[in-house]
Structure 1
């Protein structure tokens, strides 16, 4: 295979970013990270509302492995992240919003934003990837970090002839959605000083976050996260109808009469409720074609749930595996 053909990583969430960083660390420079959205980060997402900011994906991350702790310690030393709350079990936050930190992690990586890959086919040097604009991108190796249903769609191409056992493993991954109400407030809220509340909430509500109290917003902004079951039951409703229901169920905690604006974020693949106990899948093609993501948990993962750390570990591990395969 030609070293002149780039390595392409599909999906610019934390797994894709860390896979690219691992490859660059090992001397591979010709890497393209392809992301369908307007920014890298995936669920490390932050939205600007007037003079405010609002994290509306992952609010924080935790640490359960020594490998991840080593990176987090470095990030703390560099003042990129800090302890937010939790004395016995730390929750860490980005000091400038989760997306700003994702962008910092990806700042030395060649990124193609607002680019959706619709097809992967083999060619004589590896693969040819087709975008939704009809552009062809050559790749000598591919890592797919898109959510499992989207990854499976790409791998089902008859040209690839991916083993059905691999596709069946992707079918084992099941996601629940998450609906998040985003509110700009005229007055400060009565939420705890940390800005975070996730206990003794009404049925269907997962967490409430005040981003002014969190320390990333100049004005009061609030995100209201609904549970997977609630989100699944209401996913097909219109945005305004969902926002009204969110307001009704959380009105005892937030004075929505002082809300200046409201928006709804719909995460279709928010959290894997069924996941794989392996950090990546190898499709065993002639040229490397690997699949990874936060739903690919290491066999020794103590948390038993998907999170930013599982995305990190999967990305680092699949990047290391690709280094081996390319030698």
Structure 2
């Protein structure tokens, strides 16, 4: 395929080549109208917007009103490190302000936001590729997705807990049923399927979604089901669950085994250190930037990409295999 040059962009935009250079290098001596015309032309042609000083600019979209949690902290860290490794630059943008990307010399964006309206609003942007973490994409609108391989990850968790003698396993999620439908990692649905495949009756009662009561009420319902192990996601919530268990004089793992999603620099310092599922955030970041680069090179991206994680075995799961223990 023919290489796209700044001369071709200038011709498309109806400006001088020097004007294209001014826009790409963020020089102030260009009117907003001309600037937008050049950026639109560059994106239509697939011209990589890279300043002379180097460093393609990648936007990272977050939800502005959302507090920093374990998922956001770990994904931002992974994206930041991968962007730096490739010699790119990074700009964090509120999901409410994505239209600003039309005015930036940005090559593409990665969304860590679960904003359900983001895909629809993205259609208004000018041929900018977007890669979403977890939330569903729309290939026709240049939106792709990288996400944890939830089926493989839950299989890891189940196989480990089963090997340790656990059959009555509960799941505590900090997402509603409605939010679950928007994600590619359908954790609650897949967890229930695994329980049913293991012959567990009324498996739906062992999956607790947000919105079905207070944390205390939801935990009580799971405990009443006779669970011997509880999987809690995300890692932030595991801290609260441990506090609730302590108030009931229940010990981890003696009275209830606990497994969660990794919360870096926190999970390993809980009492006891928590066994966790660590999503491969670095791989997700690398795949996201690969997809953006393929788009800029006018190559067809392969589609959405699932990334399996791994277990970090610590001290929060009790071994029931050699004990005289019956489940409810």
The TM-score with structure 2 as length reference comes to 0.31
Higher relative contact order (CA 8 A, sep 6+): 1
Q: Which has the higher strand share?
A: 1
Q: Which has the higher helix share?
A: 2
The TM-score with structure 1 as length reference comes to 0.31
